[in-house]
Amino acid sequence: MSGGLRLHVPEPEVRPGGAPDFSGVKIAKAGSVRRPPVDVDPAEIRDMAYSIIRVLNRAGEAVGAWSGSLSDTELLAGLKTMMRVRAFDRRMLMAQRQGKTSFYMQCLGEEAIACAFRKALEPGDMNFPTYRQQGLLIADDYPLGDMMCQIYSNRRDPLKGRQLPIMYSSKAHGFFSISGNLATQFVQAVGWAMASAIKGGDRIAAAWIGDGSTAESDFHSGLVFASTYKAPVVLNIVNNQWAISTFQGIARGGSGTFAARGLGFGIPSLRVDGNDYLAVHAAAQWAVERARSNLGPTLIEWVTYRAAAHSTSDDPSAYRPKEETDAWPLGDPIKRLKNHLILKAVWSEERHVQAEAEIDAEILAAQKQAESHGTLHTGPRPSVRDMFEGVYEEMPPHLRRQRQEAGY
């Protein structure tokens, strides 16, 4: 042997200033991936962890065995929900730039995943989200004004200023409190699902995690427990190609795909075009049916692209080409669904422009109402008294003393 050992550090295909290159993203032809029965033996579909389920082809047609899970009316509602999420993000990003809130995170380019997935769930099911699944709430008609008040940390903040902006929580809407600590929600979702099974209930859980956070130990712990106890949970990995500033190859390692991580645990694992609303809903419906039929967990890798910065604290031009967003081969989820509906003659460019204007007006009205209750630097804030409330069922003596000392 000659020479010494060398450490391998994965490198992205291209750096800022270079030409975007997605030649390594192998995309299956739309409609080509089979749809197995929900009770399939996981060993029989191992290959599906390396392909990509797609319904919409380049012409905008819905093809293949995974198509047909939604009516035209449901698709139109889904399109408007995605448009609403994007308009909400745009307004809140602007509010952050104006100093009305300290922080914001968009889901630009990823709207189809949360919006379509939510429609496959039932009331009482519980999502354990990360910070880019605001679509789960908006698709379930959570009040936009309440979301904005939480972002502004004003006197109407449902969480009373206890959470970082965008870290929502709503038990009624099946949205577990977002944690700023990466991956903690993944193993919690599995535990919640196990508890549902122990109680003999019929509610399932959905765990959410980003590609970068799959490097955390909680991700692997979640897979162990989900596999061993056949927990009724859908394990979602949103692969948007980038963590904060590192490309997805760092966390993926040598597994080939993130979906392949589930194979070693005997968990059925799918890869799905995350920018295809129809494919997302069909795959989510399949996995949800498995879980609710007591057949155990399913792991799904949603293949998408983070078109915006990681957060308002990030500048993606420092680590990827500016043109990379436009070069993403799976396109934009809103445009793709819009084109499909136009092809079916149930939508038009004129109606789309009108809907954009109506949704923008809706978001603006909600924003004005929310800001009437205060923003980060103006108006009333949550009372100091709130800091002591809602923690213990019966307040301990030492907290009562502290509250009295504070004058509340």
Strand order of the β-sheet with 126-128 is 126-128, 205-210, 233-239, 298-303, 269-273
Per-residue model confidence as pLDDT tens digits over 148-189: 999 999 999 999 989 999 999 999 999 999 998 999 999 999
Give the DSSP H or E segment for 126: strand 126-128
Give the mean pLDDT of 89-112: 98
Neighbours of 386 (CB within 10 A): 16
CB count within 10 Å of CB 180 equals 9
Write the DSSP assignment of 156-178 as a string of letters: T-TTTT-S-TT---BTTTTBPPP
Look up residue 384 and give its amino acid.
Answer: V
What confidence score (pLDDT) does residue 2 get?
Answer: 67
pLDDT tens-digit readout, 45-54: 999 999 999 9
Q: What is the CATH number of domain 42-377?
A: 3.40.50.970
Contacts of 358 (CB under 8 A, 6+ apart): none
Cα first-last separation, the chain: 75
Residue 1 in this model has a pLDDT that exceeds 60: no
Mean pLDDT of the 66-72 span? 96
382 pLDDT band, cuts 50/70/90, is: confident
Helix (H, G, I), strand (E, B) or coil at 293: coil
Domain positions in the chain: 42-377
The mean of the pLDDT values for the chain is 96
Q: Enter the tokens of residue 21.
A: 């290159």
- CB of 166 closer than 8 Å to CB of 95: no
Q: What percent of the chain clears pLDDT 90, i.e. is strictly above it?
A: 91
| Distance separating alpha carbons of residues 154 and 148, to the nearest angstrom | 9
Q: d(Cα 36, Cα 391) in Å, to the nearest integer?
A: 47
Quote the pLDDT of residue 323. 94
Whether residue 384 is predicted with pLDDT greater than 90 in this model: the reply is no
Percent of the chain with pLDDT over 70: 100
Q: Supply the pTM of this predicted model.
A: 0.96
Give the burial string for 184-210 (b: 16+ CB within 10 Å, else e): bbbbbbbbbbbebbeeeeebbbbbbbb
User: Which residues have a Cβ under 8 Å from the Cβ of 87 and sit 6 or more positions away?
Assistant: 356, 359, 360, 362, 363
Distance of CA 313 to the CA centre of its chain: 19
String of b and e for 213-250 (b: at least 16 CB within 10 Å)?
bbbbebbbebbebbbebbbbbbbbbbbbbbbeeebbbb
* pLDDT above 80: residue 393: yes
Contact at 8 Å (CB) between 193 and 132?
no
Q: What is the pLDDT of residues 182-228, one digit of tens each?
A: 999 999 999 999 999 999 999 999 999 999 999 999 999 999 999 99
pLDDT digits (tens, 9 = 90+) for 263-322: 999 999 999 999 999 999 999 999 999 999 999 999 999 999 999 999 999 999 999 999
